[in-house]
Amino acid sequence: NAGVTQTPKFRVLKTGQSMTLLCAQDMNHEYMYWYRQDPGMGLRLIHYSVGEGTTAKGEVPDGYNVSRLKKQNFLLGLESAAPSQTSVYFCASSYVRTGEAFFGQGTRLTVV
Amino acid sequence: GEDVEQSLFLSVREGDSSVINCTYTDSSSTYLYWYKQEPGAGLQLLTYIFSNMDMKQDQRLTVLLNKKDKHLSLRIADTQTGDSAIYFCAEIPTQAAGNKLTFGGGTRVLVKP
């Protein structure tokens, strides 16, 4: 049972480049999330989804877009990467009733 | 505002008990959670407590909840070097759509041999 899988694990981008981070979960969870983790800032929610075909903004959505075309997948896109987006990105999914969230292993992104 | 607060750092000797404290914001939060993050890894759910409970024990872990003071603690008995990690408490405020978690800043626990 894989749980939550993120790809890629590491990436270096040049300023202005675009990329998509992929998250896949095999637990049939309705809710999915993208967080970023920065030193001294804790975890901050970027976007989330409460079901297939729906997305909503979190705390720090600017510069990111998301899509949830299939229930098991949640994609995070950076259209024009900036150095301020250098961070570790975590995807998570959760049970609706208890809110237990399960996290992927993270994607370490560096924008130069 | 929505601030879940934790102390930054805890140092403990191997074999001793560790107590990590957290204050949360929403007295109506239904569930409260403890997550563990080891270096280079994602967050791992350790345990959670339902708001109508005062205490929950799970092997070496004991969670205590004081709803009046909005205080949550995690006690780790017989702390091992493998317990060295960052520990996050989290709540889902009742007004949060989509079960959005609000995390504390994390407590870094260092276990010394």
Please write the tens of the pLDDT for every residue from A44-77. 999 999 999 999 999 999 999 999 999 999 999 9
Kindly report the CA angle at B41 between B35 and B44, in degrees rounded to 5? 25
Q: Which residues contact A5 (CB under 8 A, 6 or more apart)?
A: A23, A24, A25, A104, A105
User: How far does A42 lie from chain B, in Å, by closest CA?
Assistant: 5
Whether residues A99 and B106 touch (CB distance < 8 A) is answered with: no
**Window from A13-17, A40-44, B83-87 with minimum mean pLDDT:** A40-44
How many pairs of residues across A and B have Cβ atoms under 8 Å apart? 58
Neighbouring C-beta atoms of residue A94, cutoff 10 Å: 25
**A85: nearest Cα among A33, A49, A44, A25:** A44
Going B105 to B4 to B76 to A36, the CA torsion angle's sign is: negative
Q: Count CB atoms within 10 A of the CB of residue B112.
A: 11
Q: Are A83 and A110 in contact (CB under 8 A)?
A: no
Per-residue pLDDT tens over the stretch B21-79: 999 988 777 789 999 999 889 999 999 998 888 999 999 999 999 988 999 999 999 99
Query: What was the pLDDT predicted at B26?
Result: 81
Query: Is 80 exceeded by the pLDDT of residue A28?
Result: yes
Q: Give tens-digit pLDDT for A92-111.
A: 999 887 888 999 999 999 99
B85, pLDDT greater than 70: yes
Quick one: pLDDT at residue B108? Answer: 96
Written as six digits, the tokens of B65 are: 């909840």
When CB atoms are compared, the residue of B33, B42, B88 closest to A105 is B42
